[in-house]
Chains A and B, each alone.
Chain A
Amino acid sequence: MNITMNKNGKVLIVAVAGRLDTLNSPELEKKLGPALEGIEDLVFDFSEVTYISSAGLRVLLTSMQIMETRGKMTVKNVTRDVMDIFEITGFAEDLNIE
C-alpha cells in the first residue's frame, strides 16, 4: 500500500493506493493521526484503492469522527468494488462521496 499526503493550508489530500486491509490499515491510521492537526478539509483520493475490509472502514470511521468537529471529510474517485462495500455497510449514505 502507498500513501501520499498533500497538505495545502487547512486542506489535506490523502491518496491511497493498494489494499486497505487488516495488515495495511494501521499504517494509514498512524500516519493520519498527526497529519490531521489543524486540518479543516480532509480529502481521501481512493482512485487506486482496489480493496477495503472492515479494518479500512474503521479508519474512515475514526477519521470521520475526528473531522466532524473540525470541518469536513470527502472520499473521491471511489472504485466499483469499494463502492459495493460502502453500499453494503451503509457507509455510502453517510460518507461524503464525490
Chain B
Amino acid sequence: MRELDIDAIKENLPQVLGFVEEQLEGQGCDASVITQIDIAVEEIFVNIASYAYDPDVGPANIRVEIIEEPLSVVISFIDNGKPYDPLARPDPDIKKPLRERQKGGLGIFMVKKSMDNVTYEYKDGQNILTITKNIS
C-alpha cells in the first residue's frame, strides 16, 4: 500500500492523479479503465477540496493498494473535515431533461456507476471513502 498526504485544494489534482497513475503502472490497465479511475479520483478529491474544510484548507490522505483475484485497485480518501457521506445523497434523475436538471450530484453518481464498489465510513473523526475497481 502506498499513500500520499496532500493539502485538499483543487490545484493539487494533477499531483493526486499522478500518484494514482504511478501505482497503476505496469498493471496492464486498459486506457479506458485508467480514464474511469482518473474521473472517479477527480470527483472525490475535488469534493473534499471544495467542502470538507470550507472555508479553510485541510489535509487529505490518499491510499492506493493493488489486490489480487480479481486484480483490482483499492483507493481510499481520508479527511478529517466535516462528517459527510456523499453516498447518502440521492442520485440525480438521469431521465430528466437536461434543461430541468440541478447542477449538483453528477460527480459522485459517475463514481458509483463506473467503480465496482464504493463505501463510506466515518471513524475516529475521519471521513473515509473507498473505491474499488477491477483492473484485470
Contact = CB atoms under 8 A, between A and B. Distances in A.
Interface of A: 21-23, 50-55, 57-58, 61, 64-65, 68, 80-81, 84-85, 88-91, 93-95
A10 B2 CA distance: 53
What is the interface of chain B mostly: helix, strand, loop, or mixed? helix
A84 B99 CA distance: 21
B98 A53 contact: no
Contacts, number: 61
A65 B99 CA distance: 6
B101 A61 contact: yes
B110 A89 contact: yes
Contact of A88 (B11, B42, B97, B110): B110
6 contacts: A21-B42, A50-B35, A53-B43, A53-B110, A57-B106, A89-B92
Interface residues on B, range: 20 to 34
A22 B13 contact: yes
Contacts of A65: 98-99
